[in-house]
A and B are shown apart, each in its own frame.
Chain A
Amino acid sequence: MPVLTGKELRIVGFLCNWCSYGGADTAGVGRFNQPTDLRIIRVPCSGRIDPLFIAKTLINGADGVLVSGCHPRDCHYAEGNFYARRRLEVLKRFLPILGIDPARFDYTWVSASEGQRWQKVVTVFTEQIHALGPATRHENVSPELLAKVASAIQGGNRVAA
């Protein structure tokens, strides 16, 4: 598809309806300059975000994922972002073992009134992803690299010599 041919990268945002989606609306209404790489998926609460959505998005080739919810203690549902914080932090630390740069994923808190904060977050994150460049897909891993890691773990060699 043409979207990926230019210098634009694929960044997916998961935003809670009550705070960060409103913050992004506020940034739009305020006509704040924002990068164009991001596509936003609306969810009711950051607590709705199964970390697997993020893993799936990144494994399937997105270049970056940004999650934003209400500030801690300001969750519309009181506790959602507290659960989210734990889950998302665990995921962030899990990504590197899968071979995904953890800098491709960040989570933060932006309230509905913080249009300018949203602008800053999107801008900084997009720059961060551009610095990393396009993500490698599994099918594009180089044969050299494959050969290099093939014998990294000699677990169950069931082959008779």
Chain B
Amino acid sequence: MSRLDALKTRIKEALPGLECVIGWQKGYDALHNTPLFIRGEADVDKLEWGALNVHNPAVYLPSFAGKKVGVVVKGCDSRSVVELLQEKLIDRDNVVIFSAGCDGVVDIAKVRAKLAAAGLNAGNAEKVAVDGKTVTVTAAGKAVSMPMAEVAADKCLRCQFPNAVLADAFVGDPAPQVQAAPAADADLAALDAMSVPERMAFWRYHMDRCIRCYACRNACPMCVCRDHCIAQSREPHWLSQEDSVTEKLMFQVVHAMHLAGRCTECGECQRACPMDIPVLALKKHLNRTIHDLFDYQAGVDVAAIPPLLQFKLEEDNIKERSW
């Protein structure tokens, strides 16, 4: 039985006791899947499992507070579930986790770029076929094959958790671990190579086109403030309505700092950005910092205490300056 069929079987069994089960289905075109909310048995057959399941369905869980729901997760998504459980934002008894081994998902932006390089528009995609190591997209009647390694999401290239860290129903064979991960993601490496003034210019360049839709925030499973985010409140009034780069970047700093020690690097912030702003690099850098300072990784242990909510009398890796 395929992973997909096994998942469907398990979901059908559990569905009667659940408000709904969150997964993925086909979207408006061949290149896009979209979240699926299974409320009846007929919906189960819409379920998809594969490289186009780019979304992190954990983002929806806190909104079902008090109701018992099921969620289908990839390995990376499961870390968000763990983090939500750790922060008591969802209740373990109220969530049933379905999962299967994940062979990686595509980064639609990378696919778009590949198509553009071939003179095609992703907006004309007609067919997508994924077989193991190759993704083939047909657009405007022309098929373009691209190696999965070149269009996979950054997180997949360095994936430590292709299998869920926490699941109630894990079906099929576990997916193999990623071998020979790159030392650093390309975006982080590019920023690392820049001088400090160049980095300022970099953010000035990219944040300028931010439209402040807050998709980065709302797609983030850890942004639980959501409707009460300080970005849009007057009490407190952290950000003005002025659409300057300063204010826009400040929001990214708010988002990143609020995620320090909580971010599982699922990449939804950047994937969601309609303006293709590389906001994930900030979180990647911060995660690296948190790891260096506190030897901590978010979303792997429900019982862990986030590093910024605790302290040591003598810190191992913080050296205070002398005057």
Seen from chain A, the residues whose Cβ lies within 8 Å of a Cβ on chain B are 51-52, 55-56, 59-60, 72-73, 79, 82-83, 85-87, 89-91, 93-94, 96-101, 106, 108-109, 117, 120-121, 124, 136-139, 141-142, 145-146, 148-150, 152-161
Contacts and interface: CB of A to CB of B under 8 A. Distances in A.
Contact of A161 (B117, B191, B278): B117
Interface string B253-274: 1101100100000000010000
B109 A98 contact: no
A142 B205 CA distance: 11
Contact of B112 (A106, A124, A158): A158
A153 B202 CA distance: 9
Interface in B182-214: 186-187, 190-191, 194, 196-205
Nearest to A121: B323
A145 B197 CA distance: 8
A32 to B, nearest CB: 14
Given A155-B276, A160-B116, A56 B198 contact: no
27 contacts: A59-B253, A60-B250, A72-B313, A83-B311, A85-B315, A85-B320, A86-B294, A86-B315, A90-B260, A90-B290, A91-B257, A93-B292, A99-B198, A99-B201, A99-B202, A108-B320, A136-B197, A139-B246, A149-B194, A152-B202, A153-B278, A155-B276, A156-B108, A156-B110, A156-B112, A157-B116, A158-B122
A45 B211 CA distance: 36
B78 to A, nearest CB: 26
A70 to B, nearest CB: 13
Contacts of B116: 157-161
A141 B201 contact: yes
Contacts of B109: 155-158
B321 interface: yes
B289 interface: yes
Given A85-B311, A124-B323, A138-B246, A161 B119 contact: yes
B196 A99 contact: yes
Given A72-B313, A121-B323, A149 B198 contact: yes
Consensus secondary structure, chain B interface: helix
Contacts of A79: 311
B197 A94 contact: no
The list of the 9 closest CB pairs from A to B, nearest first, reads A99-B200, A156-B109, A99-B199, A82-B311, A156-B276, A145-B201, A157-B113, A149-B202, A160-B121
A112 B178 CA distance: 55
A154 B313 contact: no
A109 B119 CA distance: 60
Given A86-B318, A90-B293, A155-B276, A96 B205 contact: no
Contacts of B197: 99, 136, 141, 145
